[in-house]
Chain A
Amino acid sequence: MAKRAAPEVNAGSMADIAFLLLIFFLVTTTIPKDSGISRKLPPIDDTETEPPIIRQKNIFTVLINNRDQLMVEENLMEIKDLRAAAVEFLDNNGDGTCSFCQGKRDPSSSDNPTDKAVISLANERETSYAAYISVQNELVAAYNELRNRRALEIGSQKGFPNMNFLEMQAKLEDVRWGGNKTKLKEVIEQIQVEIPQKLSEVAK
């Protein structure tokens, strides 16, 4: 007797099974979108050393009250004006030691952004989180604005022309970028030292 060939398996419903799985994964997929504002909390300090005295003119006080209103240096301010005000404060260069600043050199405002100017942020318990994040965002934006400007200046000297600070940071993370990363890291660190994010939060 001739051997009978094994009957072919009907694969017609394979598509249905695949669809079933597909729909399951479609429904359970959450594309992760985690990004945000990174901060470092100050460690708890038990030692009883006196905190260094900071002169009033070097502190930029921002207060958000329980109705989400903004008080900046004793004046009421809209959130849209905060970035420009913070940049003006940081960029002031009151003592003339900051070579890259373009500020007004107002003697009643901050001395220099490198180790003098501090932004102090205070909020109340009833302040909404949305308002707090908006303010944090604007203050980070002010720092980034100055850092970007500085990056364009020294970047062109160090061989990274037309790159702002954020692009530099992105390039440093980018594995496909072929440039000199050690040199780029030096530039980034130099900018971070020159314009540190000095943001102090006051607990109420």
Chain B
Amino acid sequence: MAKFNKKKDGDLPPVNTAALPDIVFMLLFFFMVATVMRENTLKIANILPLANQVEKLDKKNPISYIYIGKPSDNYTSKFGTEARIQLNDDFADVSEIIPFINQERAALREELIPFLTVSLKVDKKSNMGIVGDVKQELRKANALKINYTTGTGDVSANTE
């Protein structure tokens, strides 16, 4: 009788996808937790050099970032091809570093101010001239803890 037709034996039952949302949510939560939103949009080329004697930058202490590098393609017509400094979201002049550091300090709790580390993210093709100027300004601002942020790897790759 038609009502009680048995299924043919060769048919595979459909795969149960009820658990798929769970799996996707699991991945979703992982990435949500691991995500750090970029705090700055880079307007410069920023390929860091490599070093292998590195120390991890301690997230417990406050960090301010200074980016140095050539303006990226969209900005070369306006800002040229010489390496420039970027603070927060915009190009800056060397003279703006001291106000920048003071502003960063103002945003911190008082007991954390001496631990402020300045992370210098400098493109490997930049010259030392601009880096030296920035260091001199940092000395004037009395922000003496710096970190040359680098990638991890062998230094021989730097000269390529």
Contact = CB atoms under 8 A, between A and B. Distances in A.
B139 A128 contact: no
Interface residues of B, number: 57
A134 B143 CA distance: 24
Given A37-B148, A44-B139, A133 B55 contact: no
Contact of A36 (B20, B27, B54, B140): B54
Interface string B41-63: 00000000111111111000001
User: Interface of chain B, helix or strand or loop or mixed?
Assistant: mixed
Interface string A22-57: 100110111111111111111110000000000000
Contacts of B32: 25
Interface residues of A, number: 50
A29 B55 contact: no
A100 interface: no
B1 interface: no
B81 to A, nearest CB: 15
B119 A36 contact: yes
A41 B158 CA distance: 24
Contact of B155 (A29, A124, A137): A137
Interface in A10-28: 11, 14-15, 18-19, 21-22, 25-26, 28
B36 A32 contact: yes
Interface in A113-138: 123-134, 136-138
B31 A26 contact: yes
B24 A37 contact: no
Nearest to A64: B128
Contacts of B123: 129
A203 B20 CA distance: 61
A98 interface: no
Contacts of A127: 127-128
Contact of A144 (B53, B63, B140): B53
A43 B55 contact: no
A140 interface: yes
B27 A22 contact: yes
Interface of A: 11, 14-15, 18-19, 21-22, 25-26, 28-44, 64, 68, 79-80, 123-134, 136-138, 140-141, 144, 203-204
6 contacts: A22-B24, A41-B138, A129-B125, A133-B148, A133-B155, A141-B53
